[in-house]
Structure 1
Amino acid sequence: SLASLSYLDLNLHRLQALSLHADVLPQYKQEAPKTPPHIILHYSAFKTIWDWIILILTGYTAVMVPFNVAFKFKTMDDVSFIVTDSIVDVIFFIDIVLNFHTTFVGPNGEVISDPSIIRVNYLKGWFVIDLLSCLPYDVFNAFQPESTDGGISSLFSALKVVRLLRIGRVARKVDQYLEYGAALLILMIFGFVLLAHWMACVWYTIGLRDLDLEIWYGWIPRLANDSLEPKNWTKNTYQSLLPDKSMAYLTSLYFTLSLLTSVGFGNIAPYTEGEKAVVVVFMLL
């Protein structure tokens, strides 16, 4: 009937608006093509909801991976972070499996539902990046014995940054929303805050590096002097004298936001050569 056709049309438009795929349906064919039972249509309601879940988890990854690497959450005392990241890794692995069974739009605008073509297309495309981004680096790092070489531990911490490749998923799916002013504003705000967060993690990492080099006049010792009043800074005792991680992160974020929005207020400033070099890069950005 006419009413049922209008209802289906309305649902189709809603689905197209929510979908994270630029090419939702072929222009010349609105009815669903016949597909094998194990193949998922890329514009179906299930795939649309799943893509939004992946998008949210990608945002979580973009925030938490640099934070965990910079602040070195890698021991069993930080089990909540490890469990959460492991769950996220499992979901991203399931997404890889689903991508092997999801249709895509071909070069001529047709919906490709042949399983062999879908597999080849995904293997030639984003499969390697998606696989590298969901490996359980936290689990590898957490279960290392205490006698393990520190270089291996540092390697696993650095490899966790590979997870940021998941941001490529966002870049290839949200570009269709850039034509809407409100969506563009939200994306710009999120991008600005994310940049400040990444810079804060780098700022803290540089401060720790200077301490490892026994440079005791950087921004972290000065922060500790203001809050904890340590007496003897040495290579063996500075770990116990460091400000707690929440205080260090808030101070780092405060500094990078003040640097991005103005020229800084001077209460947190670069002192060592490494800190000044990083701030020069930040200011150029």
Structure 2
Amino acid sequence: MGKIVCEQQMMSLNADVLPQYRQEAPKTPPHILLHYCAFKAIWDWVILCLTFYTAIMVPYNVAFKNKTSEDVSLLVVDSIVDVIFFIDIVLNFHTTFVGPGGEVVSEPKVIRMNYFKSWFLIDLLSCLPYDVFNAFDHDEDGIGSLFSALKVVRLLRLGRVVRKLDRYLEYGAAMLILLLCFYMLVAHWLACIWYSIGRSDTDNGMQYSWLWKLANVTQSPYVVLNSPEGGTTELIHGPSKKTMYVTALYFTMTCMTSVGFGNVAAETDNEKIFTICMMIIAGKEIT
């Protein structure tokens, strides 16, 4: 008799572990998705991967002024990502959520109002086709550059990523992988900012900036092109984007790990101020 009771308890263990709303399998309207169904779980992972893609490519394109009109394949990929983010908005209007009392809310009107009050504005701004607008503007100082800068708004979607990944933080291996990904992502962002500062100082004629020195070391010096109208100058040639990005990432990694080989160093005041801020950020992450 005791054995039978034990077996019954083992069989009911999984049911006890599951949340109450999963045990009950609530009835929903035909056009409403359960937030824990298999399709929604796969879809959330797709959105997660595309969000990381956005978090990597947006700062790079903004910092290096990489216009998607120059690369048709990149424009197509970014347009597909925008469409998928828009579909995600539509799905969120038809997906249940867990209410304050632990119950599943499946009423369409309540779902819509909850989404409007939470993530709708951020999701809408993140799926606007900034790359398409930017592709039709050939003036780097025009409205195209504004749309390029507005793409940074897409990084706000990382807030949803953190919320979705919170359930995996109890696993040691997953925690280690997430910390490594976060570390590399921060290093990538700082590298893009580091390049932007060096480019700005170089454009302002500071020939001792890290970017100008890199051009001389790699034997790809900048050439100052004077405007025929006078008063303005433009820098042409210089190192390749690959060389500049790898060097910037190399510097941020050595700075954040407190290695500091010194072959790439802050020279201008702007570079020194940013380096100090970066050291503070790295110190916070370590502690």
Name the residue aligned to 1:284.
280
The residue type equivalent to 2:131 in the other structure is D
In 2, Cα distance between equivalents of 1:81 and 1:99: 27
The residue type equivalent to 2:194 in the other structure is W
Structure 1 residues 276, 235: closer, same or farther in 2, change over 3 A?
Answer: farther
Return the TM-score normalized by structure 1.
Answer: 0.87
1:167 aligns with 2:152: no
Kindly provide the CA deviation profile for residues 12-63 of structure 1, in whole angstroms up to 9, marking residues without a partner as x. 99xx9xxxxxxxx642660321111100000101001101111111111111
Q: What's the Cα RMSD here? A: 2.4
Aligned residues: 267
Q: CA deviation at 1:81?
A: 1.9
Q: 1:38 aligns with which of 19, 31, 39?
A: 31
Name the residue aligned to 1:108.
101
In 1, Cα distance between equivalents of 2:41 and 2:263: 47
Unaligned 5+ segments in structure 1 are 1-5, 17-24
Name the residue aligned to 2:261.
265
Name the residue aligned to 1:3.
none
In 2, Cα distance between equivalents of 1:128 and 1:91: 16
In 1, Cα distance between equivalents of 2:51 and 2:242: 23
Q: Which range moves more in the overlay, 269-278 or 208-217? A: 208-217
Structure 1 residues 168, 231: closer, same or farther in 2, change over 3 A?
Answer: closer
1:241 aligns with 2:234: no
Return the TM-score normalized by structure 2.
Answer: 0.86
Q: CA deviation at 1:175?
A: 0.7
In 2, Cα distance between equivalents of 1:66 and 1:208: 15
Unaligned 5+ segments in structure 2 are 1-9, 228-232, 282-287
Structure 1 residues 53, 114: closer, same or farther in 2, change over 3 A?
Answer: same
In 2, Cα distance between equivalents of 1:41 and 1:216: 60
Q: 1:92 aligns with which of 66, 85, 91?
A: 85
Kindly provide the CA deviation profile for residues 235-262 of structure 1, in whole angstroms up to 9, marking residues without a partner as x. 6676422201011110111111111112
In 1, Cα distance between equivalents of 2:22 and 2:165: 24
Q: CA deviation at 1:103?
A: 0.5
**Is the contact made by 1:141 and 1:153 (CA closer than 8 Å) also made in structure 2?**
yes
**Is the contact made by 1:69 and 1:158 (CA closer than 8 Å) also made in structure 2?**
yes
Kindly provide the CA deviation profile for residues 46-102 of structure 1, in whole angstroms up to 9, marking residues without a partner as x. 001101111111111111111111111115222222211111111011000000000
